[in-house]
Structure 1
Amino acid sequence: MSSESTEVWAGWYRDRRGAEAVTIAAHGRQLRTRIRGVEYEGAALAALEAVGAEGVLSSCVLEWDIPLPVHADGTAERATLSCLLTLGELRPEGSLDRADLSLTLHYGGAAYESGIAGSDFDSALDRIQKQLPYGAELGTLASTAG
């Protein structure tokens, strides 16, 4: 039995047909969500594939928040990591023309932004870490989103 926990984050899915509330479940490096009755899963949000069918998420936006501790001065303070993933159009060969991830950490009354970071979650977090005040360290997620 795995010792990894499953984290569930609330968010929104938007495309040309409208918006709907979704949840994103992360277990280890595996992610899963259900959109309009279709299950999607994969090792990265920018590469979620329909379960039991052909197709990947494309031409849409996913937004979700992750509670994330920030360690400073021997204490852990609660912060919120707001995530925005924009997935472009599907190319004829089956890949996306773009996947843009933007993270914003809300901590200590300030907002720290990653800017557009392709779809590399770890690089986006690293950009935020470099902006934090001296001595502040991002906590780790039990699961990662990318």
Structure 2
Amino acid sequence: MSADRFWPGRYTDRHGTEAVVFETDGRESIRTTIRGVRFEGDSMDGLGALGGDPPDAPFTFFDGALSSCLMEWEVPLSVAVEGEGVRTAVLDCALRLGAPAGPGKGLDAETLTTTLRLDGHAYTNAEGADTFENALDEVQRQLPAGTRMRACVACAWSDYSPLGNGLMAGLACFRDAKDRYRRVDGKHRPTGIFALWDQHTEFVQETWLCGEFEHRSGTHTGYRGPFPARRRL
């Protein structure tokens, strides 16, 4: 995969707002500096101070990660437009992390909003999305016919564990096991995702993209199904 990428953004809490840059390897590492403090984590809702010790600068933490704040950032996202080829759009992301709700209770709120901006139009997921998978699925449904995202979440070779997934990342790439992945049709049995799981190439973020991307469509949809997902009746 290519080198690290940089997402311009902003961090806001009750102490003020600061322009920041989030640096990511597209897999399981996100880093940034806020008020002179270096943070790192595998997800935007899991950024903790490097070294593990609480910094002197004012922040609120829950289970070692930032909370009681709003993080905003921009991600370039490729889209394929029928008849026009591949275009570059901008995905605006906003993650609002609430306050600690008490021991063993997590945060009192966690809200993700994604907005894809293309040709002067904005396509936004409804408030309340809890993962990038769900948010981007909803955004894809709003795009004009013939317009499709080109990102790992929409790739033929990516899948989640049946055990569940968090806000972002944790998306297994099977580009080095394509022949076997084509036969995946459930959880168990020799053709289930569990039988193939250890052969995944790596874990990636939903908005990442590599040169082996293929649209997730047709009869081959792995364990998690097509993208966007079929609506339940």
TM-score bin (small chain): 0.7 to 0.9
Residue 43 of structure 1: how far off its partner (Å): 1.6
Q: Structure 2 unaligned runs (5+)? A: 54-63, 153-203, 208-233
Q: Check 1:57–1:82 CA distance in 2 against 1; reply closer, same or farther (3 A cut).
A: same
Measured in 1, the distance between the counterparts of 2:113 and 2:82 equals 28
Select 1:76's aligned residue among 86, 89, 92: 86
Select 2:75's aligned residue among 44, 51, 66: 66
Conservation of the 8 A alpha-carbon contact between 1:129 and 1:138: yes
Measured in 2, the distance between the counterparts of 1:90 and 1:71 equals 41
TM-score (normalizing by structure 1): 0.87
Measured in 1, the distance between the counterparts of 2:101 and 2:47 equals 15
Higher mean C-alpha deviation, range 90-99 or range 15-24? 90-99
Structure showing greater radius of gyration is 2
Task: For residue 125 of structure 1, give the secondary structure of its aligned residue in structure 2.
Answer: helix
TM-score (normalizing by structure 2): 0.56
Conservation of the 8 A alpha-carbon contact between 1:29 and 1:144: no
Conservation of the 8 A alpha-carbon contact between 1:46 and 1:119: no
Give the AA of the match of 1:40: F
> Counterparts of 1:121-136 in structure 2 under 5 Å?
121-136=132-147
Q: Which residue of 2 aligns with 1:23?
A: 21
Residue 35 of structure 1: how far off its partner (Å): 1.2
- Structure with bigger RCO (C-alpha 8 Å, 6+ apart): 1
Measured in 2, the distance between the counterparts of 1:4 and 1:78 equals 17
Q: Structure 1 unaligned runs (5+)? A: none
Deviations 1:47-104 (A, max 9, x none): 2222212531111111111111110125111211111110100233273222111001
> What's the Cα RMSD here?
2.0
Q: After TM superposition, which residue ranges in structure 1, 4 or more long, deviate above 3 angstroms?
A: 141-145
Q: Which residue of 2 aligns with 1:106?
A: 117
Bigger strand share: 1
Q: Which residue of 1 aligns with 2:149?
A: 138
Conservation of the 8 A alpha-carbon contact between 1:26 and 1:143: no
Q: Which residue of 1 aligns with 2:180?
A: none
Q: Which residue of 1 aligns with 2:165?
A: none
